[in-house]
Structure 1
Amino acid sequence: MKELLFSLTHFPKDELDEAELAAFRRAAKTCRGWILTMTTAANSGHPGGSMSSIEMYLLTYAVSDLRRQNADDINRDFIVISHGHTAPAAYSTLAYLGFFDPTELLGNFRRVGSPFQGHVERSVRGIDWASGNLGQGLAAGVGYALAQKKRQNNGHVFVLMGDGEQTKGQVSEARRIAVKEGLDNITALIDFNHIQISGFVEEVMPVKYKKLWEVDGWQVYECDGHDPSNIYSALKKAYEDQRPSVVFCNTIMGKGVSFMEAIPDFHGRALSKEQYVKAMEELGEDPSMLEDALRARKGPLPNGRAVYPTSLPIEVGNPFVYPPTAKMDNRSAFGKALANIGDLNYGKPVPVLVFDCDLASSVRVDEFAKKCPDWFIETGIQEHATATVAGASSCGGAVSVWADFGVFGLSEVYNQQRLNDINRTNLKLFLTHVGLDVGEDGMTHQCIDYCGLLRNLFGWKLVVPIDPNQTDKVTRWALCQEGNVCVAMGRSKVPVLTKEYGVTPFYDEDYVFNYGTIDMIRDGHDASVFAMGHMVYRALQARKLLEEKGVSLRVYGVSCPLALDDEVVTEAVKMGPIFTYEDHHIRTGLGQEMISKLQRLDLRGRVKPLGVWRFGDSGPSEEVFEAMGLDSKALVHCILQE
């Protein structure tokens, strides 16, 4: 049976024959039994939508070339599941197709420590994207499709979706990006059973579902979602046309069990044991599977797939070194380094994709756009989809860079970046206009929470470069790293940091950036200030003023606030009081990280954080810093008070 399904890769025939139809019907019946068994054994899950979408799952995996043996490769088709609560259908399909043994699955669904979590995760072989809240899957599919296009690979991307999520704004954003980028290698399938958790979709939020897709430029098809022949024909048309396409699969919630069909209550409720036995009898499946599953639930856990982010082989070139006389902002140094990297790699096998949300000149990616037009992806003011598209494209074989204002690229899309973390993507996120250094734009544009937001996650690295020279080196470093990296910069020009006597750049041609390193910019013996990013030059101004008063201040430059070096912190505590100095929320940034570090190291010392304590004003940056009590004179006053 499985061999018949596998013979349909990339639609070798116009229609299915009777043997193939019989194979799909048998597979669907078996998988429905497994769906009910695993959800009843777990006493949890979403059986209704899983039952309605099982034919959609089986056909999609059958016609794709995704198989157990190539599931870790990037030169293949990708399948993204957006309605991740139908995990029982996804897992059943994969088990039936030999990705793993079904006995591993039935007793371990939603079990602590099992890879078969309640919503699909990449820890299961054959799952390409871990879904979170509804509405993100299409954007992930667009990311994979975009990477395949730019890599000149023939891989097709299928996105499986539910009907309730079609009202989500991120879905609309993703549709428009797909059309703009000419992604004829993506097909979406919608389980159109008309039911979501709160009732019927037409009552919860009525919209013209098919018109939404048509208006955005997609080719729309429709089929009977329980007829394998009908699904196959519609999918084949979608696969072969020259446009992004969607197939509405008309289905019935709880299909196959009479008392479950079209009943909203079974969207997210497992059957009781009595209901389970009755349902399995209707399906003609063996209800004794439940007892086997319950016994397995107490046995050893199955192993999942380990997913690791990878770095891709690109040239990053030699850093530019700016002289002390240079007048430059860090974002411009980033832009020049990025353009240089693009120039070195343009036309080579690994694409460097740079995403922009209508801010190219402000975030300094306009020079890259001119040098590498085919790798520059303008997505318009659509940040939610862009965050996911960029993240997923980094899993599909591209080096993905997204530059945006801090409030848009992180604060606004925190959940999308959280899912990028969960999915172990390789996104390089460059945030500009962070902190109070937005100046005249005012409090709505002040990203004063980026440290705290990334501190809540587990895989992101954060770098806040100190001057243009370090920014250049950090940019080249970031694009070679495995995993997600955020580089956060202000808006204003900053002095090029020099060595002690102001002749040569501190971050010269011999400097090598290492994540977590804290640089001692100037030595001192009375107190220490740990200044984050561009605040270093203000700390040096304060140091000069303190020298006149007989106070010797040691200045540390902190560019990695979430990875403070133990030895440096320990040394500073021994010397005397520590001051932290940041253009960030005082309760969630460097200051609190320093206090936590001392606690973890069981060190006792005085820490005085200086940072943002309210939303700032609108005006020139220097005046805003002064009003907030964060200029160099305020630092001097604080140190003398101690």
Structure 2
Amino acid sequence: MDPTTEMKGFRAVKVSPEMTAELKERARKGRVWSVIATSAAKSGHPGGALSSMDIYMTLLAAADVSPDRSDCMERDRIVISHGHTSAGFYSALAAYGFFSPEEMYPNFRRTCSPFQGHVERDVPGVDWGTGNLGQGLAAGVGFALAARARGSNSKTWVVMGDGEQVKGQVSEARRIAAKEKLNNLTVLVDWNDIQISGHIEEVMPVNIPALWKADGWHVIECDGHSYSQIYDAMRCAVTHDGCYVILCRTIMGKGVSFMQNIPDYHGKAASGEDLATALKELGSDMEMFEKALEARKGELPKGREVIRCVPDLDTGIPVTYTKEDKKDNRGAFGKALAQVGELNYKKEGRTPIIVFDCDLAGSVKVDSFAKACPDNFIQSGIQEHATATVAGAASAAGAVSLWAAFGVFGADEVYNQQRLNDINKASIKTVLTHTGLDVGEDGMTHQCIDYVGLFRNTFGWKVIVPADPNQTDRATRWMLKEPGNVCLAMGRSVLPVVLKGDGTPFYGDGYTFNYGDIDVLREGKDAVILSMGHFAGRAIAVHDLLAAEGISVKVLHCASPLG
């Protein structure tokens, strides 16, 4: 019987000698697989993989995760923020049966392999793909918020590197977690004091414990190679209130003498005699490596398919605005959001809607939702980088997640975070106001005219630019139930309601929003005007002027420029 099974869910009060022996052997094998994986690929990050290994082995033993529940909603979530240690985490997952090690280490970093150089959701057991450093804590905050909104007892674990602690997005995420009192979130930092350019004090000096304490976190320090100390710290964190960070003192390249505490091995694979020495010290040999090289020529393994959740929501009855109504698209969005929110707020069986704001609630019109659904409204302050990731991760963990911001903040400023939301197959709803040419009063710093092009650069984002308040209302309700990442973009001004020739609302009763449709607003035979967004009303005005001169122009409206 596996002695570490008693560690699951922290049933064991202490780590026994038998548990320690089992974890030590798993870590030894994991280090062998990590070295072989990086050396077979002739690239990778063996130093961090080896230093984090004991953290990974302890975490996977204790957290509520298992191979047969890797896609289950009610389970713990683990985020690896220093995603370049992928060889180490993949090896740890293999040690716990998420897949076979022979499937992983020969195929590490191969083109089209799921076992990419930075952790990816294609691999069972990986909950978030972290590209550049500093992303993981924000993703963990999103998972923890979604679990809380679902009423789940699951926990979120984030493992980070020490070099990324200076990044601004990490500070933003720390503050959001502390403000929201996320007792279900615990962070472990691999503190080996080395990053790619050298020792931390040489690259950018930082007082890591002081940073976390300043933002209201409880700090525990431990030996990152002591299974009992890591486990005790984790158990303390989950049995006490407050946000906890565990600073694990480790040795870069642990287990391989010539790699230990050498910055070069942050991102340098061993080769030749050095590789043979490394494998011998870890209790293996070159024969295993040669077999891996041969297997590397074989068929690629298949990754898992990430399935997005389909929300269960009552989207209510659309509001129809008439030609007498003076309304901006922002206001129509805000009213529809508040109505849908109130219909589903804390209703059993409904998917929770979480709305995020960065100190713009009144301007982006999410203030009505905040009043109707206060527990599901997250005020993040002026911290857009973390918020984009927090909201994205929450949408991948069982919540409908919406973030509203000005276009320059929600698209331009956080392009990489939105790109990672796409890569991670999230389902964030990003509502952008103050976009397009309808922002002149605020000046060029606030005029976002590149949002369509930015999202076109990604593989999966949908973009909706509604023509008037009626289409905005219906697009909002459609978007909230649609899996995948959706951007709803609009300007800031009051717009006329788009009317049919008989004076009734074009997008009123009987209209259903369908992504990708192009609407014929006016018929004509001499020319065509293709409009998008608030220009629809102007295009109709041009149609009428030309008609008076005997020129027949068809007017089309495309609300889905990427559809």
Is this a same-fold pair by TM over 0.5? yes
Where 2:482 maps in the other structure, the secondary structure is coil
- The Cα shift of 1:235 comes to 1.2
Letter in 2 for 1:533: G
1:409 paired to 2:404: no
Within the alignment, does 1:510 sit opposite 2:478 as a pair?
no
- Please say which structure displays the higher CA radius of gyration: 1
Q: What's the CA shift for 1:480?
A: 0.5
Aligned to 1:440: 441
Post-superposition CA distance 1:218-256 (Å, at most 9, x none):
110010001111111111111211011100000010011
CA contact (8 A) 1:39 1:45 kept: yes
Q: Deviations over 1:31-61 (max 9, x none)?
A: 1111101111111100000000100111111
Give 1:319's aligned residue.
318
Aligned-pair distance for 1:545? 1.6
Partner of 1:419: 420
Matched ranges for 1:75-114 at <5 A: 75-114=74-113
Show structure 1 runs of 4+ deviating over 6 A: none
Post-superposition Cα deviations, 1:302-333, rounded to whole Å, max 9, x if no partner, equal 11101132221011111011111111000100
- In the other structure, the counterpart of 2:553 is 553
Q: Name the structure 2 match of 1:499.
A: 500
Q: What secondary structure sits across from 2:292 in the alignment?
A: helix
Partner in structure 1 of residue 466 of structure 2: 465
**Cα deviations across residues 451-482 of structure 1 (Å, max 9, x unaligned)?**
00000001110000000000000000000101
Q: CA deviation at 1:439?
A: 2.6
How far, CA to CA, are the matches of 1:430 and 1:335 in structure 2? 10
**Structure 2 residue identity aligned to 1:491:** R
- Contact kept, 8 Å, 1:44 with 1:270, in 2: the verdict is yes
Secondary structure of 1:313's counterpart equals coil
**Distance between the aligned counterparts of 1:178 and 1:485, measured in 2?**
25
SS at match of 1:261: coil
Q: Does 1:267 align with 2:266?
A: yes
Q: How many residues align?
A: 561
Report the equivalent of 2:353.
352
Q: Sequence identity of aligned pairs in percent?
A: 57
Q: CA deviation at 1:62?
A: 1.0
Match of 2:142 in 1: 143
3-state DSSP of counterpart to 2:422 = helix
The SS at the match of 1:8 is helix
Separation in structure 1 between the aligned mates of residue 105 and residue 389 of structure 2, nearest angstrom: 31
The 3-state SS of whatever aligns with 1:344 is helix
- TM score, norm. by length of structure 1: 0.87
Superposed CA RMSD in Å reads 0.9
- Which 5+ residue runs of structure 2 have no aligned equivalent? none
C-alpha separation between the residues in 1 aligned to 2:393 and 2:347? 20
- AA paired with 1:530? L
Higher relative contact order (CA 8 A, sep 6+): 2
Question: What's the CA shift for 1:385?
Answer: 0.3
State the match for 2:544 in structure 1.
544
Q: Which amino acid in structure 2 is aligned with residue 173 of structure 1?
A: E
- What's the offset of the Cα at 1:7? 2.9
* TM-score (structure 2 length as normaliser): 0.99
Deviations 1:73-98 (Å, cap 9, x if unpaired)? 11110000100000011100000000
- Distance in 2 of aligned mates of 1:302 and 1:434: 44
Quick one: distance in 2 between partners of 1:230 and 1:223?
6
By how many angstroms is 1:533 displaced?
0.6
8 Å CA contact 1:311–1:483 kept in 2: the answer is: no
Aligned partner of 2:526 in structure 1 is 526
- Counterpart amino acid of residue 382 in structure 1: Q
1:392 aligned partner: 393
1:18 aligns with 2:35: no
Superposition deviation, residue 513 in structure 1: 0.9
Q: Is the 8 A contact 2:309 2:398 kept in 1?
A: no
Q: 1:10 aligns to what SS in structure 2?
A: helix
Aligned-partner SS, 1:288: helix
- Cα distance between partner residues in 1 of 2:509 and 2:549: 35
3-state SS of the aligned residue for 1:111? coil
SS in 2 for 1:221: strand
Q: Deviations over 1:487-543 (max 9, x none)?
A: 0010001001111122x1101221111110000000111110101111011111111
Letter in 2 for 1:532: M
Please give the alpha-carbon distance, in whole angstroms, between the structure 2 residues aligned to 1:61 and 1:314: 34
Per-residue deviation, residues 269-302 of structure 1 (Å, max 9, x unmatched): 1001321111111122233110110011001111
In structure 1, what is the Cα distance between the partners aligned to 2:229 and 2:378?
A: 36
The reply on whether 1:176 has 2:175 as its aligned counterpart is yes
* Corresponding letter in the other structure for 2:382: I
Say whether residues 1:379 and 2:380 are aligned partners.
yes
Contact conserved, 2:197 with 2:263, CA < 8 A, in 1?
yes
CA contact (8 A) 1:40 1:273 kept: no
